[in-house]
């Protein structure tokens, strides 16, 4: 009954139009001198009858469509209307099904983001228990080892930074500002920030980057990526006295920045999965501190900035992380800038 009422409401205007058209034609005949009432009644009756037959046939063809839309849906699949015959209904159904597909895609993306965030937070909170417990034990001693406390605080700080970066990744475009940066100064800044890490682990950074090279990128995001690569290089280089090489070279398709370590390397079976979320691999299980999110976030940032990230490694010999700043993103500074920068660096 609901379907019939909906059909009638939809076609009230059509019925009134048909009635007005018949009356208009009869008026023309009356003005022309035609005065036979029987013929007029017959014409009106036949018009009404034909209109009823037309609307009845139309309703029969569309009854499945009306039956599907008059009741409230119980699940999303109810939007996928079937057994439609008219071109209008078919197009409406195709449109609805495409909307349903887009809806499913967006819901799945939101679910994946929420699941990834929840998994990451649970894992991070669990890992932060360790440095907090260590600090608690250190504070119970008569003489507090400030160096050990500092190391644990640094672990907490690094973990918090990963959490904040992961949260900002969802609004990456709103938090991005592309500018041309001097590459050597940028790398020196990152290496200086990790100076204590190098000293603690007995490693030596070797920077080989010309001071005239610049790259077009976002300062905050590129620093996060470089810090992540440097930290990983130090974390998985267990022998003291080893070196970490940071080099840049001009290629035909852009500027190639490479960070090479002499650590334990990545097993070939893990190499193609190291940028996946939460993947820790054999090396992550060795250190026991890996969240599996650092390289994932770095690869996401690289992709959104338009930089090409490649990771190559040989187990037992070391790992090389390369970032290619493609054409139009690498260049040389103006002639006067290289002379100014050393003075700025000296003044620090």
3-state secondary structure string, the chain?
CHHHHHHHHHHHHHHHHHHHHHHHHHHHHHHCCCCCHHHHHHHHHHHHHHHHHHHHHHHHHHHHHHHHHHCCCCCHHHHCCCCCCCHHHHHHHHHHHHHHHHHHHHHHHHHHHHHHHHHHHHHHHHHHHHHHHHHHHHHCCCCCCHHHHHHHHHHHHHHHHHHHHHHHHHHHHHHCCEEEEEHHHHHHHHHHHCHHHHHHHCCEEEEECCCCEEEEEEHHHHHHHHHHHHHHHHHCCCCCCCEEEEEEEEECCEEEEEEECCCCCCCHHHHCCCCCCCCCHHHHHHHCCCCCCHHHHHHHHHHHHCCEEEEEEECCCEEEEEEEEECCCEEECCCCHHHHHHHHHHCC
**Number of neighbouring beta carbons within 10 Å of residue 33:** 6
Residues 161 and 310 in one domain: no
Q: Is residue 189 part of a domain?
A: yes
Task: Please name every residue paired with 245 in a beta bridge, in sequence order, or none if there are none.
Answer: 206, 260
Q: How far is residue 179's CA from residue 15's CA, in Å, rounded to a whole number?
A: 67
Structural domain includes residue 151: yes
Please check whether residue 191 lies inside any domain of the structure.
yes
Instruction: Report the candidate in 103, 82, 109 with the shortest Cα–Cα distance to residue 93.
Output: 82
Does the residue 185 lie in any domain? Answer: yes
- For residue 290, which of 308, 276, 302, 310 has the smallest C-alpha distance? 276
Structural domain ending residue among the three candidates 111, 140, 175 = 175
pLDDT (0 to 100) of residue 345: 39
Identify the domain boundary among 107, 141, 175: 175
Domain carrying residue 165: 87-175
Q: Kindly state whether residues 332 and 206 are assigned to the same domain.
A: yes
Residues 185 and 171 in one domain: no
198-203 long-range contacts (CB < 8 A, ≥24 apart) are 198/234, 198/244, 200/151, 201/234, 201/237, 201/240, 202/240, 202/241, 203/234, 203/237, 203/240, 203/241, 203/242, 203/243, 203/244
The gap from C-alpha 289 to its chain's centroid, in whole angstroms, comes to 25
Same-domain status, 332 and 235: yes
Q: Is the pTM of this model over 0.75?
A: no
130 with 229, same domain: the answer is no
Q: Enumerate residue ranges in the chain where pLDDT < 70.
A: 73-86, 89, 278, 281-292, 327-348
Q: Identify whether 77 is part of a domain.
A: no
From 153, 175, 197, give the residue that closes a domain: 175
Domain identity same for 219 and 324: yes
Give residue-wise pLDDT tens across range 125-167: 777 777 888 888 888 877 777 777 877 787 787 778 777 777 7
CATH code (residue 305): 3.30.565.10
Enumerate the β-bridge partners of residue 320.
260, 312
| 79 occurs within a structural domain | no
Domain co-membership, 247 together with 329: yes
Q: Are residues 204 and 294 in the same domain?
A: yes
pLDDT at 79: 62
Q: Are 39 and 22 in contact (CB under 8 A)?
A: no
For residues 56 and 100, state if they share a domain. no
Q: Within a domain: residue 192? A: yes
Residue 235 lies in a domain: yes
Specify whether the CB–CB gap between 178 and 294 falls below 8 A. Answer: no
| Domain match, 110 and 243 both | no
Query: How many structural domains compose the chain?
Result: 3
* Closest C-alpha to 55, from 104, 30, 18: 18
CB 309 within 8 A of CB 258: no
Q: Which one, of 86, 79, 95, lies nearest residue 63 by Cα?
A: 86
If asked whether residues 192 and 323 sit together in one domain, one would say yes
Contact residues for 196 (Cβ-Cβ < 8 A; gap 6+): 150, 154
- d(CA 249, CA 324) in angstroms, rounded, equals 10
Residue 336: per-residue pLDDT: 43
Residues 324 and 298 occupy one common structural domain: yes
């Amino acid at each position: 009954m609901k379907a019939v009422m909906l059909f009638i409401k939809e076609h009230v205007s059509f019925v009134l139009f048909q009635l007005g058209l018949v009356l208009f034609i009869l008026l023309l005949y009356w003005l022309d001198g035609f005065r036979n009432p029987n013929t007029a009644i017959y014409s009106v009756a036949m018009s009404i009858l034909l209109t009823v037959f037309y609307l009845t046939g139309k309703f029969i063809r569309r009854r499945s469509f009306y039956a599907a839309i008059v009741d409230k849906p119980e699940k999303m699949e109810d939007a996928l209307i079937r057994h439609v015959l008219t071109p209008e209904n078919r197009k409406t159904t195709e449109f609805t099904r495409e909307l349903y597909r887009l809806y499913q895609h967006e819901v799945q993306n939101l679910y994946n983001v929420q699941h990834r965030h929840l998994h990451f937070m649970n894992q991070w909170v669990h890992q932060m228990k360790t440095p907090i417990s260590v600090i608690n034990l250190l504070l119970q001693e008569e003489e507090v080892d400030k160096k050990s406390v500092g190391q644990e605080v640094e672990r907490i700080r690094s973990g918090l930074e990963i959490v904040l970066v992961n949260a900002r990744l969802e609004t990456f475009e709103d938090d991005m500002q592309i500018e041309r940066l001097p590459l050597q100064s940028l790398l020196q800044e990152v290496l200086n920030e990790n100076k204590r890490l190098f000293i603690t682990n007995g490693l030596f950074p070797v920077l080989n980057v010309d001071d005239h090279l610049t790259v077009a990128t976002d300062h905050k995001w590129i620093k996060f990526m470089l810090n992540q690569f440097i930290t990983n290089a130090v974390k998985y280089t267990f022998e003291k006295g080893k070196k970490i090489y940071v080099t840049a070279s001009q290629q035909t398709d852009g500027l190639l920045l490479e960070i090479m370590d002499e650590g334990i390397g990545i097993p070939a079976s893990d190499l193609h999965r190291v940028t996946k979320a939460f993947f820790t691999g054999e090396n992550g299980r060795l250190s026991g501190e890996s969240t599996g999110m650092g390289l994932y976030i770095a690869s996401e940032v690289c992709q959104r900035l338009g930089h090409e990230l490649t990771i190559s490694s040989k187990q037992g010999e070391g790992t090389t992380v390369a970032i290619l700043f493609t054409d139009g993103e690498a260049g040389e500074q103006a002639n006067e800038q290289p002379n100014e920068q050393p003075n700025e660096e000296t003044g620090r």
